[in-house]
Homo-oligomer: A and B are copies of this chain.
Amino acid sequence: MISDRERAAFEAGIKLGALYHQWVGTPVSRESAGSLEHAIENAHIQQPYVTEISVDLDREAMVPNSFGYSELAGLMLDVEMTVRVNQATCHVSLSREGEYPMMRIEWIDEDSEVSSS
């Protein structure tokens, strides 16, 4: 048996992995960062079970190359995402931890219904 909590954790993982590998490599600069943040949020909020997402790109880390722009790197991503499967809600994050872009489950919650079912 797979619980709702486990399914929510699985679905949240799918979305973080997808986001990371879809967007890394995109040309980006401090000027275009805002537009890219919105595009990432608008893309992934549509995926199944995602109820909230916020994306912050670290502008400090966008060191311009000799042509004046950077490429989106995993370490620039700060993402918070909430996924809901049936009664279970899973909140996850992607953020820099030293030199690793760490993905974490922040919490999982389950509706505690006083129900007769």
Contacts and interface: CB of A to CB of B under 8 A. Distances in A.
What's the number of copies of this chain in the assembled complex?
4
A114 interface: no
A22 interface: yes
Contacts of A17: 13-21
B13 A65 contact: no
A26 interface: yes
B74 A74 contact: no
Contacts of A36: 39, 42-43
B32 A42 contact: yes
B22 A32 contact: no
Nearest to A43: B27
Contacts of A18: 17-18, 20-21, 27
